[in-house]
Structure 1
Amino acid sequence: MEVRQLMTGDVATISPDASLKEAARVMIERRVSGLPVIDGDNRLVGIVTEGDVLHQESLRQPATTLRSLFTSQEGPAVTVAEAMTDKVKSVSPEADHTEAARIMESAHVKRLPVVDGDDRLLGILSRADVLRVFARSDEEIAAEIRSGVIERVLWLNSSALAVEVADGKVSLSGTVPTKSDSRILEEMARRIDGVVEVDSGDISYEVDDTKRVEGPLFGSAPRGNL
């Protein structure tokens, strides 16, 4: 599933020129632990987290909390630009959710800004957003295999094939016209969101269309003397 289908478009953001006290206020009001930092053209220039805010404040007042920073009369005298992380991992809206999951895992982050080709912020993708894909019900997965693969791709009657799904594990059985059809069915079933395994051992086919045809396809009449 593409990132654009999973991301949150309504994103709380902050300017690099804003104070950390303002960043703390936005985080508390929006109940988030981090804010994408964008410039005047909506381009992503960094990320500031509650950890960044608390670190700066701890340099002046050890053992503070984010809420005490917001409610204090005097905030830290640094801007978001001075505290933010400017090397930010991001993802494109066209990327697959599995690619986003790999980026999160390798970068050890819980969320990814979604940006276009010009680094303009489009949304935010969280781990919870990605997990929704894997939490699809077995019934939803089976229905997509029947309608999306068997009927729309292979143009077959889905009632001729049995599709069983248990905990994301797909079992396919029945007969398809060609060996190529069986391969396409298995491969496309694996690509369905939420599928963790595919067993197609009980799929048979009527014709092996993958074998090479020996000799000419059409007989040729002997050539006469001219």
Structure 2
Amino acid sequence: MKALDVMTSSVISVTPETTVRDAAKLLVQHRISAMPVVDGDGRLIGMVSEGDLLHRTEIGTEKSHRSWWLELVGSDRDAGDYVKSHGQTVADIMTRDAICVAELTPLNVIASILESHHIKRVPVVRDGRLVGIVSRANLVQALAAGAQDSAQPEASSDHDIRARLMAELAGRDWAFPGRNIVVRDGVVHLWGAVWSTDSLNAMCVAAQGIPGVKGVVDHTIPYPIMTGL
């Protein structure tokens, strides 16, 4: 699946001229934590979030002054902090060079972007213009709707189940060496020595994810740990 399959098309956005107060009202009214900033042509030019509104003079949360000797080497940062806390329009406080994706960006790429950049939503653009937004909630909604229940047919036999599971485990570092898999009447039996509980859990999840599997039985033993003599 791609961004266009799950994105919200009716996006709440603001312009650089929107007042800080109005931007805050929109965030509260629509129960969102961030929104895109667009110009008159609908082009994405930034994002404004709760974080941009955190340090404000109106509520007494502006950053405190530093000692005079730190100000000598950090005057530019102090000036930026002042604009953030005292600016009256979105242009003063917004985060520029916003991260964005295209309509055909795969969901796995979007998930990685959200996680690595510690953000909750990412704008979707077409030729620079805002066309939607994908949030973490959209990904969860796709999961709830069965987005990943692809048309993989149910395994027709125990042999088919075993072949699919072996293919799924091929090349996985956590798939322990010396493993043996036996499938009988739709039940997967795992044999061998496992590196860790995590690797065993991963094996079980892989087996349970194959259509037609009725259960998984663990016969494994801990992999021997060699210690120095």
SS at match of 1:114: strand
- Provide Cα deviations, 1:64-114, integer angstroms capped at 9, x if missing partner: 9xxxxxxxxxx9552101100002111111011001011111111111111
Counterpart-to-counterpart distance in 1, 2:86 and 2:30 = 21
TM-score by length of 2: 0.55
Corresponding residue to 2:206 among 160, 178, 197: 197
Residue 34 of structure 1 and its aligned partner are, at CA, apart by 1.1
Uncovered stretches (5+) of structure 2, i.e. residues with no partner: 63-84, 169-204, 211-229
Contact 1:37–1:47 under 8 Å retained in 2:
yes
Equivalent AA in structure 2 for residue 161 of structure 1:
S
1:52 maps to which residue? Answer: 52
Counterpart-to-counterpart distance in 2, 1:134 and 1:107 = 22
Equivalent AA in structure 2 for residue 96 of structure 1:
P
Counterpart-to-counterpart distance in 2, 1:77 and 1:136 = 43
Corresponding residue to 1:122 among 126, 131, 138: 131
Counterpart-to-counterpart distance in 2, 1:137 and 1:124 = 20
- The answer as to 2:118 corresponding to 1:108 is yes
2:161 maps to which residue? Answer: 173
Larger-Rg structure:
1
Uncovered stretches (5+) of structure 1, i.e. residues with no partner: 65-74, 147-157, 164-170, 175-181, 188-195, 201-226
1:1-226 mapped onto 2 (5 Å cutoff): 1-55=1-55, 57-58=56-57, 60-63=58-61, 77-116=87-126, 118-135=127-144, 141=149, 144-146=151-153, 161-162=156-157, 172-173=160-161, 197=206
Q: 1:54 to 1:125 in 2, by over 3 A?
A: same
SS at match of 1:130: helix
Counterpart-to-counterpart distance in 2, 1:25 and 1:106 = 29
Counterpart-to-counterpart distance in 2, 1:4 and 1:52 = 28
Contact 2:14–2:36 under 8 Å retained in 1:
yes
Contact 2:27–2:33 under 8 Å retained in 1:
yes
Residue 161 of structure 1 and its aligned partner are, at CA, apart by 2.2
Percent identity, aligned pairs only? 35
Counterpart-to-counterpart distance in 2, 1:94 and 1:43 = 18
TM-score by length of 1: 0.56
In angstroms, what is the RMSD of aligned CA positions?
3.4
Residue 172 of structure 1 and its aligned partner are, at CA, apart by 4.3
Counterpart-to-counterpart distance in 2, 1:17 and 1:103 = 29
Q: How many residues align?
A: 150
Residue 17 of structure 1 and its aligned partner are, at CA, apart by 1.2
Counterpart-to-counterpart distance in 2, 1:162 and 1:126 = 40
Equivalent AA in structure 1 for residue 60 of structure 2:
P
Residue 135 of structure 1 and its aligned partner are, at CA, apart by 4.5
Residue 50 of structure 1 and its aligned partner are, at CA, apart by 2.1
Equivalent AA in structure 2 for residue 16 of structure 1:
P
Counterpart-to-counterpart distance in 2, 1:24 and 1:94 = 31
